[in-house]
Structure formats: structure tokens, C-alpha cells
């Protein structure tokens, strides 16, 4: 059992972390070469104990990102009833056989990276009459072990999604951990412009301020809000 004091401290810590990220973004956006609009902060709640998530909700945070359908169902199945204005973002790789569950639970999907998945999503969205905004995940570092469509195949995937009637709104990337992220942020921004897409999801705990200054419209931050990921 946590004491009332420990609970209060956790709530304060997480509220402070969120506020600090807001300030950092603001500073970076206003000092960028070309002033940028403040991006939306998606709090990445994957593999975090539930009390930290509650603390973020109590601090007013409403956009959350999860990377696994089953874990997200366990966490948000009932919590979403308590906080109906939460927006849930799927940011991890999705298997086609989980498309139905993903569409039932999530509000936006940022990890569409292949035509087979796009087809499964289009079918399920029609069945559930729930037409979610989607992002195409781009493998900007061409890493074989990572999800995301290769840069050369992005336009084909985008065209296929449009033909399927999907509501494509933006692009998402996860730069290689050992690379300078600014190269990948610049590339993603260029690709979004080329594809005529307005949303750009890039930047995590270590580089969200840089991403904001480079034109991110969504940043996805986990550990800088919640601390290191530990199972409850």
C-alpha cells in the first residue's frame, strides 16, 4: 500500500515533468529558425505502473500512446470509461489479426507500414464504422529489424491507403538509436511535404525539443514523464 504522501509526491512529480516538457517545447518552438507551432504531447504509457498513469490523468494529460494492443486493452479497457475524453494512440507494430481489437480500442493509429495491414484496417474500420486517422510509419534508417515502410516504398503505400479509403493524416518515425536524430527528422518532414501530409510524429524523451523545433506536430514521450519503465 502506498501512503497518501507517496501518492501526492508521485502526482506532483509527474505534473511537474509534464509542465517542464511544455516549457521546453515552448522555448524551442519560439527560438527555432522558423517559429513552429507547439506539438501535441503524447504520453507513452507502455510498461508503466497504473498509478503513474492515473497521476498523469489527474494532471490533465489526455493523449496517451501504447505499443501493444493487449497491454493497452488491459490498462485502458475500464480507465477509458472513467476518462472518456482520453485519446489513445497506437504507436507500435500491429499484426493484421489484431486489427479488429486495435480499431475498437484506439482513436488514432501511427504505425501503418504495409499494404496488407492497411487492407485489414480498412476492412475493420468499415465493419465497425469507425474511421480513425492513421499515420504511415517510415523506416528512415532502413533498419531491417524495425517496423516502418522503406522511404522508396512510402508513396506506393500512401496511394494504396488512399485507394482503400483510409484517412491518412501524417507520417511517423523512430530514428536509429545510434544516429543523429536531426537527419531523420529533416527527412521525415521532407517526405511529409512531398506526400502532402500535415502531421509529423517524431521526437521522444531524449530529443523531443529538437523535434519540436524541426516541425514535429506530435511528440511521443515516455520516460521523461513517467520515469524508467518498470512493471507494476
Ligand X SMILES: *Cc1c(COP(=O)(O)O)cnc(C)c1O
Which residues are at the interface with ligand X (CB under 6 A)?
44, 46, 67, 91-92, 174, 204-205, 220-224
Residue 89 CB-density burial (10 A; 0-12 exposed, 13-18 middle, 19+ buried): buried
Q: Give whichever of 164 and 197 is closer to ligand X, judged by the CB atom.
A: 197
39: which residues sit within 8 A by CB, 6+ positions away? 25, 29, 203, 211, 212, 216, 217, 218, 219
Give the C-alpha separation, 229 to 16, whole Å. 18
Q: Give whichever of 10 and 21 is closer to ligand X, judged by the CB atom.
A: 21
What is the number of residues in the chain? 232
CA angle 184, 211, 27 (to 5 degrees): 155
- Look-up: residue for cell 493509429? 109
Q: Give whichever of 36 and 111 is closer to ligand X, judged by the CB atom.
A: 111
Q: Give whichever of 44 and 125 is closer to ligand X, judged by the CB atom.
A: 44
Give the single-character DSSP code of 68.
Answer: -
Q: Give whichever of 159 and 180 is closer to ligand X, judged by the CB atom.
A: 180
Give the C-alpha separation, 71 to 90, whole Å. 11
Q: Give whichever of 39 and 222 is closer to ligand X, judged by the CB atom.
A: 222
Nearest to 63, CA basis, from 232, 187, 224, 220: 220
Q: How far is the CB of 64 from ligand X (least distance, A)?
A: 11
Q: How far is the CB of 174 from ligand X (least distance, A)?
A: 5
Q: How far is the CB of 137 from ligand X (least distance, A)?
A: 8
Q: Give whichever of 141 and 222 is closer to ligand X, judged by the CB atom.
A: 222
Q: How far is the CB of 93 from ligand X (least distance, A)?
A: 9
- Look-up: residue for cell 507494430? 93
Give the C-alpha separation, 223 to 204, whole Å. 9
Nearest to 62, CA basis, from 51, 53, 75: 53
Q: Which residue is nearest to ligand X (CB)?
A: 222
Q: How far is the CB of 227 from ligand X (least distance, A)?
A: 9
Q: How far is the CB of 163 from ligand X (least distance, A)?
A: 27
Q: How far is the CB of 92 from ligand X (least distance, A)?
A: 6
Amino acid at each position: 500500500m502506498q501512503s497518501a504522501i507517496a501518492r501526492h509526491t508521485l502526482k506532483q512529480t509527474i505534473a511537474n515533468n509534464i509542465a517542464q516538457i511544455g516549457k521546453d517545447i515552448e522555448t524551442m518552438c519560439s527560438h527555432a529558425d522558423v517559429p513552429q507551432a507547439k506539438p501535441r504531447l503524447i504520453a507513452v504509457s507502455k510498461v508503466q505502473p497504473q498509478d503513474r498513469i492515473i497521476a498523469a490523468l489527474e494532471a490533465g494529460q489526455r493523449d496517451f500512446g501504447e505499443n501493444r494492443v493487449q497491454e493497452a486493452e488491459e490498462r485502458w479497457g475500464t480507465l477509458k470509461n472513467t476518462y472518456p475524453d482520453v485519446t489513445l494512440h497506437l504507436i507500435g507494430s500491429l499484426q493484421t489479426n489484431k486489427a479488429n481489437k486495435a480499431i475498437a480500442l484506439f482513436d488514432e493509429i501511427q504505425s501503418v507500414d504495409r499494404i496488407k495491414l492497411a487492407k485489414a484496417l480498412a476492412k475493420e474500420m468499415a465493419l465497425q464504422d469507425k474511421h480513425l486517422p492513421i499515420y504511415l510509419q517510415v523506416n528512415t534508417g532502413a533498419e531491417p529489424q524495425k517496423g516502418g515502410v522503406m522511404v522508396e516504398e512510402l508513396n506506393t503505400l500512401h496511394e494504396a491507403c488512399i485507394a482503400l479509403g483510409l484517412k491518412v493524416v501524417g507520417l511517423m518515425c523512430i530514428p536509429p538509436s545510434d544516429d543523429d536524430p536531426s537527419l531523420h527528422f529533416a527527412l521525415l518532414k521532407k517526405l511529409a511535404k512531398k506526400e502532402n501530409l500535415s502531421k509529423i510524429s517524431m521526437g521522444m524523451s531524449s530529443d523531443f525539443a529538437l523535434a519540436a523545433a524541426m516541425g514535429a506536430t506530435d511528440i511521443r514521450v515516455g520516460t521523461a514523464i513517467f520515469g524508467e519503465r518498470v512493471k507494476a
